[in-house]
Amino acid sequence: MKLVRMFVSLSVFAIGWRAFGGEITNTVSITTNMLFYLETQTSPPGAVSRVHSYDRIDYMLIGTETNPVYYRHFPAGNFDFHLYDSNGVEVAKSKATQYISGSASKPSRYDLMSRSYLPYLTHSGAGEFRGLFTPDDVFQIRNSGIYDLEIRIRLCVIMTNNVPDVRAMLDGRNILPSGYPFARDFGILESPPLRIKVIKE
């Protein structure tokens, strides 16, 4: 079930600085009219830069304009994420990552009609707010310390010459079951990396 969080005004601030030896980027632009960031249930509303390994991480997609932006999620492979220790060594993932990892693939016309690529929309007054994972559940974190989480989101959007077609993404017809008239134009849009700190006590 999709959860929608309403906003009176958009108040998201991107942060980029050096801390604990790694660069933090807690908000990224997916397109010119859509932002991606992370929250937790225990933090104030807005993008977080640090979480505890036991926190449930939620993600937010929010438009930057009043016009709705239409997109779809993949059946699998909607996220690419990695955790690194202070030496830059990647932490192994657990089996629990199978439900959110995998390969994303472009949909066929049949895929669109079967609704396996679920459609969504967002704008500056309403964002898509959903639970993602708890670091302790998806990574084999064996030692206490401060870790770097890097995560990208993948969206199924309309492309022109392998570039997101922002104008077409404003056309509500692309989330119809048939995807008309864009059924052959959907592609994989991957966000820039979002980086935050994970604290293991």
| Contact between 26 and 37 (Cβ < 8 Å) | yes
* DSSP run (H or E) holding 111: helix 109-113
Q: What is the mean pLDDT of residues 3-21?
A: 38
Share of the chain above pLDDT 70, in %: 87
What is d(CA 171, CA 191) in angstroms, rounded to the nearest whole number? 21
What is the band of 23 on the pLDDT scale with cuts at 50, 70, 90? low
How much is the pTM? 0.84
| Contact between 198 and 53 (Cβ < 8 Å) | yes
80 CB burial (10 A radius; 0-12, 13-18, 19+): middle
Tokens 């908000």 map to which residue? 27
Kindly report, residue by residue over 119-153, the tens digit of the pLDDT: 999 999 989 999 999 999 999 999 999 999 999 99
Kindly report, residue by residue over 24-54, the tens digit of the pLDDT: 688 999 988 999 999 998 888 889 999 999 9
The yes-or-no verdict on residue 76 having pLDDT over 90 is: no
Q: What is the mean pLDDT of residues 80-104?
A: 86
Quick one: pLDDT at residue 199? 97
Residues 6+ apart with CB under 8 A from 69: 31, 33, 34, 63, 121, 122, 123, 169, 170
**Alpha-carbon distance values, 112 to 12, 139, 153, 156, 161 (Å):** 33, 33, 20, 11, 21
* Helices and strands (H and E) in the chain: how many: 2, 15
